[in-house]
Structure 1
Amino acid sequence: MNTSETFDLVVLGAGIAGLTTATAAAERGLRVALVEKTEAVGGSSAMSGGWFAFSGTPEQDAAGVDDSAELFLQDMLEVGEHRNDKTLLDAYLARQEQAAAWLRDHGAVFTQVEISSGQSAKRSHLSDIKDVLAKLHAAFEVAGGTSYLGHRATRLVVEGERVVGVQIEAADGILELHSRGGVVIATGGFSRGSEMLKVFAPDQLAAIPYGGKGNTGDGLRMAWRLGAGMADMSFVSGTYGSHPDTTDEFHELLTAYYLGAIIVNQSGERFTDEAQSYKTLGREVLKQQDGLGYQIFDATVRAKSERGVPLKDMDTLEDIGHLHRADTLAELADIIGVDADALAATVEAYNRVVGGETVDPQGRTSLCNGVGELKPIAQAPFFAYPAKSLMTTTYCGVTITPQGEVTNVDGEVIDGLYAVGEVTGGFHGAAYMTGTSLGKGAVFGNIVAETVATRLGESQ
């Protein structure tokens, strides 16, 4: 059965980027279609830790956090090795306050503010992400939006040089959705797309596959077919910190190294600066035997656990048997199968660095991105968490303008085509800061909704 429908805007993908775009557009009075490949909304966003990166927020003020847009920009550029598209960062910073307020207005509650990967101030705002996504979808439908769950977008429809719709397919046939305002690709990356990983990041096939089930690169391929430019494709990397037995059912990611742990390989030796972005650490760990690195820490770090808080919930990890405990380093080494003398020597050398006796050969001088004083690993009991790189998100994709318009390989706008979220490139650069993925979905989703609504209004 082949049929067609006409809308003001069609949005592909129902993670934070797609839901924000669709909901914000529908609430501006547009007739919006939201297309999702799987049977439920959420995508990779629903599998994330729920952190949004914002600065200058009431939550930061309440926690006494000293932060600014200028510091935020500096951090993003340094983490991205200055390979970011600064115009995108500027757009994010200019609209972050509005996006955060919009999320709060739609029921988001930021319960904690923490420091994490790539940050030199506490700006990761914790949300109950599944609740946020559910509330956004409910708001979308209240605003009159139409959801097409279980429908896969296969091809963009082009008239002349303008994108005017998309073909989607379901079990009962093909449906063509026409759009007066264009099409928004918010389909995520390709963490589940082995064929695309083979092309752009074959070394990452050794990482644990994760992310939304629908993240196989469909949207990226559709835009690519129209000549879309690409950015950051060479920086694809998994995130370090997941147990080898990690499953889709539980967001298992521990960053005890930002609290004071070290990372050792199966020879019991450190091999990198643990204060780096966990995407950079993901690349370094893949170079080690079996792609495995052990987070080693003592009772002082263990005491910093917060049950239920992603990235630092050591209580739950110990409950399920993934975190190992021992009264001595020698006993711990035996449990994880690492040479006891080598591990003892590594910890002793690290403690001398902490004490100021020597300079760290790995270059570590802080706990996380220049912040936090190093602490010795000395207080029993001792702990080990075996972890690998988790291919959660690819953080690269089509090139866009600050208004979310997709551009071609020559930098020219592809009329009627927009992109938001993980399917876009240029924002992160060489590495990723915690919270900026969900954050850019909310920020640029609002920007694109406003842009399309304004343009449709002007054309009438």
Structure 2
Amino acid sequence: MPKIDVLAPRSAYDIECETLIIGAGACGMVAALSAHQQGEQVLVVEADAVPSGSTALSAGLIPAAGTSIQRAAGINDSAELFARDIQAKAQGENDQALVDQIATDAAEVIDWLAQAHGLPFSVVSNFDYPGHSRRRMHGLPTRSGAELIDALRARCEALEIDIICERRAFALFHEAGEVTGVAVSTPDNTQETIKCARLILACNGFGGNRELVGQHMPEIKYGLWFGHDGNKGEAILWADKIGAQVTHLGAYQGHGNVAHPHGILITWAVITEGGFQVNKDGRRFWNEAQGYSEAARAVLSQPDGEAFAIFDERIAGIARQFEDFKKAEAVGAIKSSNTLEDLAEQLGLPAQALRETHADLPLGETDGFGRTFGDVPLSAPYVGVRVTGALFHTQGGLKTDTSGRVLKTSGQAFRTLFAGGGAACGVSGSNDSGYLSGNGLLSAMVLGRNAGKA
């Protein structure tokens, strides 16, 4: 791939369009649907042979407050409460105007995709996600990001929105403080130039660029990279060259419950419903109620960067609504037994220590780590899985206004440049602990929709 660059405009281009979108993940395709609805001529370019991105590796869940789907399920929620939850998790580090707008617009995005485009969303209603005051996670039937990506691509194809794959953007054309187009590389190492009236960067973050990860978030540098390898950070590499603001580059979403060595995401429901994590000594080591993003750092700090999630068949039954959990069972990552001693043997844990840890769980009370447990004990059959910590995606990036318009270092907004998803700064504060469940797809979907219709 050619060097990431910024170039002077050409006198002629290979292609011209009104709205050009870089990246066909959730953000890019939502932006495309939104711009198409405004009557725009839309072109999406995607580096991969088939659109997928980090979205396809996720559970595909989007938090939204006040949707028609929530109301039908009898859930009373509001954008104001949602915004408070977002800021509470991030300790108030987010731009308040951006949080308020995203929390307000999320319901509109979900209802629009459900009603105008037929995506069959439903609310995850049988367990709670850490930090959310209401049950507001919306997902498609398999609770997988791959299903979400396929559904969005199908809608783009049905509306004859052009998506050209195997085209990776490497240069911006820039003149008089504005972006006027891009250059892309092709599979046969040739280059194509595209002129556009406006550009939406939906090319995700920089988690696949180990140099940038080490520079901005060294504590996760050696964690498993669970995102899309195409996340090389073009957006922030361009920013300095065009005078765009970046912010919160130390923010990221980790996850401390990835089946190891299988590399399959295990839903955090196995913890929130009463499960716990132990290290190789069979002992708990932190307050698991803080959230799955912080769990990555906590797990990686343990011997060999490993831990073990311990729960029971009741909780496994809840987890089976997620396709990933069923895959983990199919490949033998999930172990089960009628006794803790046998489960410990299967997982390679000291049986006495695991038995003592289980017996010490303070049901209905708060323990020394600060976690308050429910009053439902774990019971046979017991279930466990070896896990490690991983980096899923970065949360810092280009600073935008509420419409997704990128801000210059002067404080003014670009007229022609927008960003969303991993290319833009989300609403997760400045580090891993500010990530509220679903924040990644939340900002991707909302900023994508807003940029498309701006």
Q: Does TM, normalized by the shorter one, top 0.5? A: yes
Distance 1:374-1:77 versus aligned 2 partners, 3 A rule = farther
Residues 307 and 386, structure 2, Cα contact 8 Å, conserved in 1: yes
Structure 2 residues without counterparts, runs of 5 or longer: 1-11
Q: Does 1:4 align with 2:10?
A: no
Partner of 1:292: 306
Q: Deviations over 1:194-242 (max 9, x none)?
A: 2221221233232222222322222332234323222222233421211
Task: Give the counterpart letter for 1:422 in structure 2.
Answer: G
Residues 287 and 369, structure 2, Cα contact 8 Å, conserved in 1: yes
Q: Does 1:336 align with 2:347?
A: yes
Which region of structure 1 is more displaced relative to structure 2, 112-121 or 4-13? 112-121
Task: Give the counterpart letter for 1:448 in structure 2.
Answer: A
Q: Deviations over 1:304-332 (max 9, x none)?
A: 43534257x4x553332111123322332
Deviation at 1:42, TM superposition (A): 2.2
Task: Give the counterpart letter for 2:291 in structure 1.
Answer: S
- Show the 5 A alignment for 1:394-405: 394-405=394-405
Q: How far apart are the structure 1 equivalents of 2:383 and 2:89? A: 29
Structure 1 residues without counterparts, runs of 5 or longer: 367-372, 452-460
Q: How far apart are the structure 1 equivalents of 2:275 and 2:407? A: 43
Q: Does 1:393 align with 2:393?
A: yes
Q: How far apart are the structure 2 equivalents of 1:120 and 1:310? A: 25
- Show the 5 A alignment for 1:15-164: 15-104=25-114, 105-114=116-125, 115-127=128-140, 129-164=145-180
Task: Give the counterpart letter for 2:392 in structure 1.
Answer: T
Q: How far apart are the structure 2 equivalents of 1:94 and 1:301? A: 33
Partner of 2:216: 200
Deviation at 1:251, TM superposition (A): 5.2
Partner of 2:4: none
Distance 1:112-1:403 versus aligned 2 partners, 3 A rule = closer
Q: How far apart are the structure 2 equivalents of 1:328 and 1:5? A: 65
Residues 27 and 143, structure 1, Cα contact 8 Å, conserved in 2: no
Distance 1:310-1:117 versus aligned 2 partners, 3 A rule = farther
Secondary structure of 1:233's match?
coil
Partner of 1:325: 336
Q: Does 1:375 align with 2:376?
A: yes
Distance 1:133-1:342 versus aligned 2 partners, 3 A rule = closer
* Aligned residue among 274, 290, 293 for 2:288: 274
Q: Give me the identity figure in percent.
A: 27
Q: How far apart are the structure 2 equivalents of 1:254 and 1:218? A: 31
Secondary structure of 1:275's match?
helix
Task: Give the counterpart letter for 1:264 in structure 2.
Answer: V
Q: TM-score, normalised by structure 2?
A: 0.88
Secondary structure of 1:83's match?
coil
Instruction: State the superposition RMSD in angstroms.
Output: 2.3
Distance 1:235-1:441 versus aligned 2 partners, 3 A rule = closer
Q: How far apart are the structure 2 equivalents of 1:285 and 1:135? A: 34
Partner of 1:447: 450
Residues 231 and 425, structure 1, Cα contact 8 Å, conserved in 2: yes
Q: Does 1:406 align with 2:406?
A: yes
Q: Deviations over 1:323-361 (max 9, x none)?
A: 1123322332232222223222222222xx2154xx411
Deviation at 1:141, TM superposition (A): 4.5
Task: Give the counterpart letter for 1:394 in structure 2.
Answer: T
Q: Does 1:348 align with 2:364?
A: no
Deviation at 1:262, TM superposition (A): 0.9
Q: How far apart are the structure 2 equivalents of 1:330 and 1:55? A: 44
Q: How far apart are the structure 2 equivalents of 1:175 and 1:295? A: 49
Secondary structure of 1:338's match?
coil
Task: Give the counterpart letter for 1:348 in structure 2.
Answer: A
Distance 1:214-1:236 versus aligned 2 partners, 3 A rule = same
Q: How far apart are the structure 2 equivalents of 1:245 and 1:27? A: 44
Q: How far apart are the structure 2 equivalents of 1:134 and 1:382? A: 36
Partner of 1:173: 190
Q: Does 1:217 align with 2:233?
A: yes
Partner of 1:256: 270
Q: How far apart are the structure 2 equivalents of 1:134 and 1:72? A: 28
Q: How far apart are the structure 1 equivalents of 2:372 and 2:426? A: 29
Q: How far apart are the structure 2 equivalents of 1:318 and 1:145? A: 38
Secondary structure of 1:33's match?
strand
Q: Deviations over 1:161-218 (max 9, x none)?
A: 11111111112521111112x2111011122222221221233232222222322222
Distance 1:190-1:255 versus aligned 2 partners, 3 A rule = farther
Distance 1:136-1:333 versus aligned 2 partners, 3 A rule = closer
Secondary structure of 2:318's match?
coil
Q: How far apart are the structure 2 equivalents of 1:376 and 1:251? A: 25
Q: How far apart are the structure 1 equivalents of 2:77 and 2:192? A: 48
Deviation at 1:120, TM superposition (A): 2.2
Partner of 1:458: none
Deviation at 1:273, TM superposition (A): 1.2
Partner of 2:6: none
Q: How far apart are the structure 1 equivalents of 2:56 and 2:118? A: 16
Deviation at 1:391, TM superposition (A): 1.9
Q: How far apart are the structure 1 equivalents of 2:254 and 2:262? A: 14
Deviation at 1:96, TM superposition (A): 2.0
Task: Give the counterpart letter for 1:407 in structure 2.
Answer: L
Distance 1:300-1:95 versus aligned 2 partners, 3 A rule = closer
Deviation at 1:142, TM superposition (A): 4.9
Q: How far apart are the structure 2 equivalents of 1:380 and 1:134? A: 38
Residues 182 and 194, structure 2, Cα contact 8 Å, conserved in 1: yes
Distance 1:264-1:172 versus aligned 2 partners, 3 A rule = closer
Distance 1:127-1:76 versus aligned 2 partners, 3 A rule = same
Deviation at 1:138, TM superposition (A): 4.1
Task: Give the counterpart letter for 2:360 in structure 1.
Answer: A
Q: Deviations over 1:345-382 (max 9, x none)?
A: 222222xx2154xx41100025xxxxxx34333x2222
Question: Between Structure 1 and Structure 2, how many residues are aligned?
Answer: 433
Deviation at 1:294, TM superposition (A): 0.9
Secondary structure of 1:109's match?
coil
Partner of 2:5: none
Q: Deviations over 1:61-87 (max 9, x none)?
A: 232223222221121111112111211
Distance 1:108-1:355 versus aligned 2 partners, 3 A rule = closer
